[in-house]
Amino acid sequence: MDERRVQLVGQSTFVVSLPKDWADAVGIKRGSRVQMTPTVDGSLMVQPVRPKPAPREIEVDGRELTGPGHLTRRLVSLYLLGATLVRVTLPEGLSPALRRAVRDFPHMVIGPHILEEDARSFVLQDLADASQVPMDKGLRRMHLIVRSMLQDALTAVRTQDRELARDVVLRDADVDRLQWLLRKEHLTVLEDVTIAQRLGTTPVLSFHLAEAARTLERIGDHAENIAKAAVDLGSTPLPPPVLDALTPLESIALSALETATDALFKEDERRANAAIERAEELHRAHQRYALRIRRLRGRPALAGMAIGESLRRTGLYAADLGETAMDLCAAKGAMAGGRAAPESPRNRS
């Protein structure tokens, strides 16, 4: 540790010298400009001002991949890491499925597009600046989509509206895109504290918002499952006794989701705790619903079980959101008081 004394120049300017070894290592000379960023713990980060680096091109060799799914997962990983240019080289005798995987990828995420294409390769360029998308706004958008998906999926179950159910399935892609964008932004914040400063956040706070986005994405998956069950039911409605038992289960799950997200956005610990405590009530409602489902046979039985399980999981994920909201409140309080932030909440698989 290099300790230096602060000196006063003139009437109001404090000055401290920079260590010469460090300055030489980072290329600081007389007349160089530095950027100073206050951090949440009271320290001051000093960085040399450098021109924006040129986009870095990353190579993906298709010969190393096992198939289109492997290629898609590799592209998602590079997207989350902030790669701006990705060149995909495809093997000779390539499968059309690999080419489709590259073409489909820009529709799965926000930002990338195909910049170049020839017989053996693609170049993908990411035009989205994750630092320009406030995480709280992205999370609010996710919540609105997921809530409407759940409500419409359950409406489709009750009205046998298969077109509405199919529309819910399509909306899940929007939730996935937003979740990946928020994860990418969190990783950007971890890499560059100046971006966190510009966004008015911190690595700890962005972590909790990224966790909330991941949980909302899982709830979106269960809304999609309910919609698929509605499609499977077709014109065969669930019997009235089953629908009667579904009503309280649906009400508790949706109420827990709204309470938890409201607690998250308002940083309200009491509401977060209320969302968590609804888990036992949810369990009892699901048990009553399960008793009605046991009397069914065939397709209605399978669809009914899928609907009930997805609503149960939705309520449990809402409790996870409540835990994230409580951790977020504690983290902000800890930072304000100079204490360490708590660990992250549990996740249900």
The pLDDT of residue 304? 93
What is the reported pTM? 0.80
Residues 6+ apart with CB under 8 A from 67: 95, 97, 98
Secondary structure string (H, E, C) spanning the chain:
CCCCCCEEECCCEEECCCCHHHHHHHCCCCCCCEEEEECCCCCEEEEECCCCCCCCEEEEEHHHCCCHHHHHHHHHHHHHCCCCEEEEECCCCCCHHHHHHHHHHHHHCCCEEEEEECCCEEEEEECCCHHHCCHHHHHHHHHHHHHHHHHHHHHHHHHCCHHHHHHHHHHHHHHHHHHHHHHHHHHHHHHCHHHHHHHCCCHHHHHHHHHHHHHHHHHHHHHHHHHHHHHHHCCCCCCHHHHHHHHHHHHHHHHHHHHHHHHHHHCCHHHHHHHHHCHHHHHHHHHHHHHHHCCCCHHHHHHHHHHHHHHHHHHHHHHHHHHHHHHHHHHHHHHHHCCCCCCCCCCCC
The pLDDT of residue 342? 39
- For 7-24, what is each residue's pLDDT tens digit? 888 878 888 888 888 888
Average pLDDT, the chain: 86
Give the separation between CA 79 and CA 113, rounded to whole angstroms. Answer: 12
Spans of the chain, pLDDT less than 50: 338-349
Query: Side-chain half-sphere of 135: how many Cα atoms within 13 Å?
Result: 31
In the numeric block, which tokens belong to residue 188?
A: 């950007």
CA angle at residue 331 from 219 to 139, to 5 degrees? 30
**Rg of the Cα atoms in the chain:** 25
